[in-house]
Amino acid sequence: MYTTEIKTQDQALCHLFFHCILKDGELADKELDIVADKLVTAGLNKELNFKDEMISYKDYRPTITHEQQYLQFLIEQINPVNELALYSWCAELLLSDNILTSEEELLLKQIGDVLGIDDNEQSVAKKIMIQRKVVETEKIF
């Protein structure tokens, strides 16, 4: 179903971000603010109605049976030039609630694999994002 819903690069990026923040099944106001900020920073607010895209995502989400294929589809649509930047934004969204569950960690690994980022680069990027989150929340370097 998602293959008929997502037709543009912007939609794919938006849905990837939604998938990251909703992986744990919860959507806190803070997380919604963070993803909205990312979507605006990426310039998606001019072409997309985020509310409509969220409704679309929530409608087809239960039909995602093969997450790896779903991620492959989204990333092919996005066709990123800066893979590590996209990976780090996904990591930041997954960490937005200050917790990285095992399911979220697996999702981040899958995103990195689909992006062609090797395990070492994924590890370093994830560590940077975790440490940035600690500095942000605990105010210690």
| Closest residue by Cα to residue 98 from 140, 128, 133, 135 | 133
Q: What is the pLDDT of residues 47-66, one digit of tens each?
A: 788 889 989 999 999 999 99
- Which residues are CB-contacts of 94 (< 8 A; sequence separation ≥ 6)? 20, 21, 23, 100, 104, 107, 108
Domain-wise residue ranges, the chain:
2-138
Q: What is the pLDDT of residues 112-134, one digit of tens each?
A: 999 999 999 999 999 998 899 88
How far is CA 19 from each of CA 25, 110, 133, 138, rounded to the nearest angstrom? 10, 13, 20, 27
Q: Three-state SS for 8?
A: coil
Return the CATH fold of 2-138: TerB-like (1.10.3680)
Q: What is the pLDDT of residues 80-116, one digit of tens each?
A: 999 999 999 999 999 888 888 999 999 999 999 999 9
Residue 38 pLDDT class (50, 70, 90 cuts): confident
